[in-house]
Amino acid sequence: MSKYSMIENGAETNKIKKFFQKDFSQFIVFAIPMIFIGIFLLYPMAITLIRAFWAPAEYTFKFTGWSLEGFRTFFGTKLYLRALVNSIIVSLSVTILCILIGVPMGYCVARVKIPGKKLLVSLGILPIIMPSFVGAYTWVILLGNKGIVRTALNFILKPFGVTLPSIYGMFGMILCMTLTYYPFVFQMAYGAFSGANALLEESAMLMGAGKARIMRTITLPLIIPSLGAAALLVFVRAIGNFGIPAVIGGNNYVLPTLIKFAYGGAGDINLASSIAVINVIITGLVLYIQKYIVNRHEYETISASHTDIKQHESLGAKIFAIILCLIVLIFSLLPQLTIIVMSFFKRWTGLLPSDFTWTNYANIFKKSSHELFNSFFLSIVATIMCAIFGSILAYITERKRPKGSALLDLSIMAPFILPGTVVSIALLSAFGGNGLMKLTGTYLILIISYMIRRTPYVYRSVAANLTQLNPSLEEASTISGATWFYTFRRVSVPLILPSIISGSVMTLTTLLQELSTTILLYGPRTRTVPIQIFNAVNENDLGRASALSTVLLIVVFAIIYTMNSRKGTDLSSSMKM
């Protein structure tokens, strides 16, 4: 052992010398986002957890004494328990339905020889980039008591003795969320089915396996990991969705609307915190189950060469594929069409809209210019910050791999999985009252909440890019004599720029339509367009809501379209988890 201890002594003196010769630029760059995460993410989360065990509060943030009252109220009140059950039923149903729609559709587009595949894939991504609560109220128009789609469907279903349930309630929520979130599964399934190694299926065929057996034993098992990821994404989105239940939930509360009710209605931040904690536990549990299932099905790609996948060419398969895709696309894009039509009319109560008018648009400039400014200002500032922090954080976890980088990764990704209302409650708990600082009603708290929730887009997209980037590119720069910062600026950033851009586009487009976080944090000065749309819907001013929504749709679509026409940018990498 004497030889070893000598070596260690040598290492000691080396360390001291190394410390003084180190290039400190990277530590300064790394410290800022880490401090941000500490103050605005970890601290609020901790405070929320503590508040969950405080006695009920009435419009106060002060300490009210320790108590389990919040949880007792939750589990002792029918309304609250009902909301929990509703949340679970809705999220699970939506997840299962999304898989049932998304996987076959992904298979059809990937493996059946049909025209217009690229268009189908682009149309198939639209529902997630459009505000989901906007879609919800259009279903009220279409599937309401006298709605045109209800009338048509009831006519078709009449011979079977079936009538559609009311759009207000569980049926409506599940329908809207499924049509909004199936693209996650569809995009994933399309990617997995078209990217699969054809040789695996061909070798199974040569060994005598039939089509059904290949599907069951080779094709499907290989997509389980990505299917699991997509299913989780759908579940967390569904359980965290505020807009759809708020618009068409009727008397059926779910956890996000319940949190809003507890804080906004009863003014009890501590009760809201208790609900938030319960919500976090459920999401965590689902995440754990998903990881457990997926980990048992994680495979390394063994083959080196890839051949093109064979596609079904029979007429029957083509017709089936086209009909399936058309039905799904028409249903999921109907809301967007409805909004555009509605924005030119005063009302739409019967089968068709009535009273054509331009005033909806004229009113935007009169009544919404401040909200438009707010939306763009907040979204753009937050996106820029997300892009900077997200890429630095991805660089830290991917390249530097410090001790506890898994924990860092988890804390960055947590707000992505958690419902927006939970993040808002956490920020309110920490900065609502006379705590560290009072931020309620400011632009700052909205920007911070946006940053916390959306940094994962850039973070994930850049991290995925970095894993594919050979570290020797950066090493070559260091060898050439460049300091860390020079290398980061001239080599790393230009190479990860495409992923920064695609992550930022996702961030910007989703922030422009952000509702679930904003609804708890906005003040009179900081109202955004989605808030105004939400209020207009509640006041039944559908014309105004539609005109504003159409403006949002056009802006979001223009951003996505510009970005898709650029080469080398890929939206899907920022959606993965």
Partner 1 sequence: MSKNVRYENVNKIFGLGTKNEVHALKDISFTINEGELFCLLGPSGCGKTTLLRNTAGLDTITSGKMYYGDVDISTIPPYKRNIGMVFQSYALYPHMSIFENVAYGLRVRKVPNDVVTRKVTEVMELVGLQEELKRNPSPTALSGGQQQRVAIARALVYDPDVLLLDEPLANLDAKLRRYMRAEIRRIQKATNITTIFVTHDQEEAMAVGDRLAVLRKGVVEQIGTSDELYNQPKNAFVANFIGKMNFFNSHVVSTNKEETVVEIDTAGIRVAIKAEKRHVEPNVGDEVLIGGRPEYLAVSAESSENSIPGQVKIIQHLGSFIRYEVEINKSISPVTLEIDMDSLQKDIHEGDMVNVTFDTSRVALFSPEGREL
Residues lying near partner 1 in the complex (CB under 8 A) are found at 6-8, 10-11, 14, 17-18, 21-23, 470, 472-473, 475-483, 486, 490-491, 494-495
Cβ pair 238, 91 in contact under 8 A: yes
- Is 443 or 486 the residue whose CB approaches partner 1 more closely? 486
What letter represents residue 124's amino acid? Answer: G
Smaller CB separation from partner 1, 296 or 567: 567
Nearest residue to 335 (alpha-carbon basis) of 546, 116, 183:
546
The distance of Cα 165 from the centroid of its chain, to the nearest Å, equals 29
Please, what is the end-to-end C-alpha distance for the chain in angstroms? 46
Least distance CB 481 / partner 1 (angstroms): 5
How many CB atoms within 10 Å of residue 452?
27
Least distance (Å) from partner 1 to the CB of residue 383? 23
Strand partners, 356: 345
At residue 346's C-alpha, the angle toward residues 344 and 347, to 5°, is: 115
| Minimum CB distance to partner 1 smaller for 266 or for 493 | 493
Distance CA 116, CA 417 (A): 34
State which residue, 16 or 315, has the beta carbon closest to partner 1.
Answer: 16
Q: How far is the CB of 541 from partner 1 (least distance, A)?
A: 51
Q: Per the structure block, which two tokens stand in for 521?
A: 């944090």
Q: How far is the CB of 29 from partner 1 (least distance, A)?
A: 17
CB of 385 to partner 1, least distance (A): 25
Beta carbon of residue 458, minimum distance to partner 1 (angstroms, whole number): 19
Q: Smaller CB distance to partner 1: residue 67 or 478?
A: 478
Q: How far apart are CA 268 and CA 429, in angstroms?
A: 11
Nearest in space to 328 (alpha carbons), one of 150, 525, 100, 163: 100
CB of 404 to partner 1, least distance (A): 16
Nearest to 358 by CA among 344, 346, 342, 347: 344
In whole angstroms, give the CA distance from residue 91 to residue 394.
30
C-beta separation of 543 from 346 below 8 A: yes
Which CB atom, from 173 or from 491, has the smaller least distance to partner 1? 491
Q: Tell me how far apart the alpha carbons of residues 360 and 300 are, in angstroms, rounded to a whole number.
A: 55
Of 367 and 401, the one with the shorter C-beta distance to partner 1 is: 401
Please state the closest distance from residue 487 (CB atom) to partner 1, in A.
Answer: 8
The structure tokens 């830290």 sit at: 396
CB of 137 to partner 1, least distance (A): 46
Residue 77 or 480 having the CB closest to partner 1: 480
Phi, psi of 41 (to 5 degrees): -120, -60
Choice between 55 and 493, CB closer to partner 1: 493
Give the single-character DSSP code of 266: T
Residue 463 carries which side chain, given as an amino acid letter? A
